[in-house]
Copies of this chain bind each other. A is one copy, B any other.
Amino acid sequence: MQFDALNQEIREFCDERDWEQFHTPKDLAIGLSTESNELLEQFRFKDTEEQAALLEDAGSRQAIEAELADVLFFTLRFADLYDVDLEQALADKLDTNRERYPKDEYASSNKKYDE
């Protein structure tokens, strides 16, 4: 329901500008990568305390939230245009990860399953 409402708003925004022509899978994936990196860039060279301070300051928090929104925009747009059921995909991925990372074995562990 929530995804549906947001998808609808994104679709109107894009259709009003006739932007679907630019939204190939490759270019939407580029959108995800570039916006993720604008978020990441905010934390570059920052230690844990500095990261927390960025989230407390109103100005930098707003910038961080705007980058995260851009990531969500491209995620929803990709799913909407290329028929991905995001809720199902996430449920499936969590199932996979429950198998890859049994809770006892990976408690407090930051190892990758294939490490």
Q: Write the residues of chain A forming the contact surface with B, with a CB cutoff of 8 angstroms.
A: 1-3, 6, 9-10, 13, 16-19, 21-22, 24-27, 29-34, 36-46, 48, 50-52, 54-55, 64-66, 68-73, 75, 78-79, 82, 84, 86-87, 89-94, 96-98, 101, 103, 106-110
Contacts and interface: CB of A to CB of B under 8 A. Distances in A.
A115 B31 CA distance: 17
A13 B106 CA distance: 11
Given A69-B92, A73-B90, A94-B10, A33 B37 contact: yes
Nearest to A29: B40
Contacts of A2: 1-3, 87
Contacts of A40: 26, 29-30, 32-34
